[in-house]
Amino acid sequence: MCEPLSVGIHACRRANIGPETNVLIMGAGPIGLVTLLASRAFGAPKTVIVDVDDYRLSVAKSLGADDVVKVSTNIQVFRILGFPRSSKFSSFNSENVRQSLSAILFASVMTIICMYT
């Protein structure tokens, strides 16, 4: 489990996560969940995690995600709850880069940490 932890910490450092940073995480797999924990440790006040799987979202909620959003291929991520246009988002572990890029409409910073297969 060291590799997902190092990726999560690296992503938070690259995105300059801090007490003024709202975080959007795309994907609630091992890296996304550890990034959730790392963003909390870095002081992020609000963290939303997005995935297609209900079980993964329930785990994210139990680990401290403020909101979880179940997505499908026909939802647009820019409708994520409660983030004003001036918020700073950091998107990690994206399995759907197109949706991540839609989220940038509400962001000043986006960090994509993912593996393409």
Tell me the per-residue pLDDT of 95-107, one tens digit each, with 9 for 90 and over. Answer: 445 555 565 555 5
Give the pLDDT of residue 42.
95
CB-facing half-sphere around the CA of 79: CA atoms within 13 A: 6
Which of 98, 78, 86 is closest to 24 using CA atoms?
A: 78
Domains of the chain are: 2-106 (3.40.50.720)
Calpha distance 117→104 (Å, rounded): 23
Mean pLDDT over all residues of the chain?
75
Give the pLDDT of residue 113.
67
